[in-house]
A = this chain, B = another copy of it.
Amino acid sequence: MLYIIGLGLGDENDITLRGLQAVKECQKIYLEYYTSLLGVDPTKLSDLYDREITIADRDSVELEADEILKHAKDGNSAAFLVVGDPLCATTHTDLILRAKEQNINVQVIHNASVMGAVASCGLQLYNYGQTISIPFFTANWKPDSFYDKIKYNRNGGMHTLCLLDIKVKEPDYEALSLGKKRTLPPRFMTVNQAVEQLLYIEEQRNERAYTSDSLCVGLARLGRSDQKIVAGTLGQLQSIDFGAPLHSLIIAGDVHVVEKEMLAQYYI
């Protein structure tokens, strides 16, 4: 049996009773640790579970799926732990499909995801259009495919959730050129960086999908005790310090009365 278990958003205590029970049944436990991050050190998890945990980064999930699945065969059970929900922001379809090919039973144990927790700001989940991901721009690579999605959402009155880029285990090419294999420290896009990139693309495209006066909401560390939510114009959010990662951004569409009432507590 392969359990794919959502850990929720905060710390080790956000696992469900069902999730904890499943972990305790498993001989081998992997923690997916590349697309999102918990508010605590993984050792807190091993302490709670009283089990060793293997950290699985992007390479090991994609390249060593068979190694993971080996532990879920022949009457054994393995757990694959995912921050948030296993199927929402990150979708572990590849691992699920491979498991099914090998006739391994898969059980998904759901939990809270950032894609639901954004409702905390008062903009109702019903009224969101498609979600976009904003990647870190480089000197030569400034993709803007998200622009048309925001435009379509806003023309239909819908809000847009922007998930912000995370770079973990990037190769350090400078070190590599000196013959050293090294990775760069992880990078997490801030609300400020996202705003800067959005305004840059609006300037290029100039179709007024949004402007620096558009109502937006910046969110940081959702679901944790120190979560921060600030509503204001896109321009205003550019200079707000949201603190430690993870950050997300919402570009509002039409805002209804009841949404306004909830949002009011978060205005700059």
- Residues on A lying within 8 angstroms of B by beta carbon are 6, 8-10, 12-18, 20-21, 85, 87-89, 91, 93, 96-97, 100, 108, 110-113, 115-117, 119-120, 122, 124-133, 152-153, 156, 158, 223, 258, 261-262, 265
Partner of A122, one of B13, B93, B115, B122: B93
Asked if A13 meets B21 with Cβ closer than 8 Å, knowing A93-B262, A115-B116, the reply is yes
B110 touches A223 (CB 8 A): yes
How many copies of this chain does the complex contain?
2
Cα of A84 to Cα of B87 in the assembled complex, Å: 16
Report the separation of the CA atoms of residues A115 and B88 in the bound assembly, to the nearest whole angstrom.
Answer: 9
Say whether A111 contacts B108, CB under 8 Å.
Answer: no
A6, B112: Cα distance in complex, Å: 9
A96 / chain B contacts, CB cutoff of 8 Å: 262
* Chain B residue at minimal CB-CB distance from A225: B107
Which of A12, A113, A122 has the most chain B CB atoms closer than 10 A to its own CB? A113
A110: nearest chain-B partner, CB-CB: B112
